[in-house]
Amino acid sequence: MLRYLITLLISLVLFTCSTIPTPKVQVIKFDTLELLMTRDSEKVEVINFWATWCKPCIKELPYFQELHNLRSYHVNVTLVSLDYVDVLHEKVIPFVEMRQLTPQVMLLDEIDYNSWIDKVEPSWSGAIPATLIINHKTGERRFLERELKTGELTQIIDEITT
Amino acid sequence: MVYISTILVILSVLFSAGLKVGDQAVDFELKNIDGQMMSLASNEQAKGYILVFTCNTCPYSVAYEDRIIQLHEEYAPKGYPVVAVQPNNVQRSPGDSFDKMKQRAKEKGFSFPYLIDETQEVTRAYGATNTPHVYVLNREAGDRFVIEYIGAIDNNSRNAADADQHYVQDALDGLIEGKGVQTTKTKAIGCTIKWAS
């Protein structure tokens, strides 16, 4: 009887675990972002800095979703949220779930902005939306501190890969 | 005088990507929430200004409101009052309209001018890019003000008590004590300025 119970318990635990989705948003420090920017990869790195409170950022998220859907064979899209880590469960995760965002979403928990903004890009004033595009193979980078226009993202990726 | 400042504004818009530390501040004529026009020259007692590009709608601006009020309370008596400028285009950001500015200033009890930059020329001339974006100005002689610091208020937007670098305060204390400004430029995450499309 006890054996049955244990088996039941174990299978219940396993079942529950398998239905828990992988974390939707990974909380990171700057070193993780730095790894993304400097890693050795065949794929073009597209890193978008956004936040749930930033209207122009939200407006352009579909471009990144579409890029991820159509070109993930040669482009790696990461959405880096600059929301405060305090609102991770209350705002960021529900937002990502509601929008059904499938690119990797990370929340950069680094409040001392002046210590890392220049390491991303010296010309960045700190305003968002901002997007960094890197071709790791050639070392070519593009940084856009503004809203993107329709088609602009794929155009830049084509420019940087040819 | 107004012509000269207009020409100065136009020149700086045409020939630079904004003002830098050490540059002479561009004077302006902007409308305050009380309906009066204000310029840097209009306060003859001021030894300088804490010029803050800020607005109602940006969460970072809201997070810093109490700290901006405190800066004014502490430094206006020492000759460095706050002048806040709302840089966003109100069609693109209706929450930053002149009426909403008046409302917010009343709610928070702003005791400093809150000006609207309707044409965005002043914002462009200074090269402000996000909100809140602070310029510390120091009077050199007559109506000549020089920019001594550009950047963030401190290094923790989330919680004032956790900040361990108080950039604007340090710059002002340096000026007041005659020691000069150590950190003259910093960066911070902020809301992009909503330019007229």
Dihedral (C-alpha) B156, B160, B165, B166: value to the nearest 10 degrees? Answer: 120
Q: Is B157 on the interface with A (CB under 8 A)?
A: yes
Instruction: For chain B, list residues with pLDDT below 70.
Output: 1-16
Query: What residues in A contact B152, CB-CB < 8 Å?
Result: 113-114
Strands (E), B39-165: 48-53, 82-86, 114-116, 130-131, 133-141, 144-151
What is the nearest CA distance from B35 to chain A, expressed in angstroms? 30
Q: Is B130 on the interface with A (CB under 8 A)?
A: yes
How many CB atoms are located within 10 Å of the residue A35 CB? Answer: 10
**Structural domain includes residue B100:** yes
Per-residue confidence in pLDDT tens, chain A, 162 aa: 666 766 666 665 555 544 445 568 999 999 999 999 999 999 999 999 999 999 999 999 999 999 999 999 999 999 999 999 999 999 999 999 999 999 999 999 999 999 999 999 999 999 999 999 999 999 999 999 999 999 999 999 999 998
Give the Cα separation of B5 and B119 in Å (integer): 14
CB contact under 8 A, A126 and B162: no
In a mutational test of the B interface, the residue from A59, A111, A143, A144 whose CB has the highest number of chain B CBs within 10 Å is: A111
> Is A40 buried (19+), middle (13-18) or exposed (0-12) by CB count in 10 A?
exposed
Domains of chain A: 25-161 (3.40.30.10)
**Domains held by chain B: number:** 1
**Structural domain includes residue B31:** yes
Which strand (E) or helix (H) includes residue B63? helix B59-75
ipTM comes to 0.85
For residue A92 the two structure tokens come to: 């960021």
**Structural domain includes residue B197:** no
CB contact under 8 A, B187 and A146: no
Q: Is B188 on the interface with A (CB under 8 A)?
A: yes
In this structure, are residues B148 and B138 in contact, taking their beta carbons and an 8 Å threshold? Answer: yes
In a mutational test of the B interface, the residue from A86, A114, A120 whose CB has the highest number of chain B CBs within 10 Å is: A114
The reported pLDDT for the residue numbered B13 is 47
**Structural domain includes residue B72:** yes
Domain that holds residue B24: 2-192
The reported pLDDT for the residue numbered A162 is 81
**Structural domain includes residue B134:** yes
Strand order in the sheet with A44-50: A25-28, A104-108, A75-81, A44-50, A130-135, A140-144
In this structure, are residues B17 and B10 in contact, taking their beta carbons and an 8 Å threshold? Answer: no
For residue B104 the two structure tokens come to: 């917010």
CB contact under 8 A, B188 and A124: no
Residue-by-residue DSSP string for A46-103: EEEEE-TT-HHHHHHHHHHHHHHHHHTTTEEEEEEE-S-GGGIIIIIHHHHHHTT--S
Give the Cα separation of B156 and B183 in Å (integer): 16
Nearest CA-CA partner of A125 in A145, A147, A148: A145
CATH of the domain at B37: 3.40.30.10
At residue A95, φ and ψ (nearest 5 deg) are: -65, -45
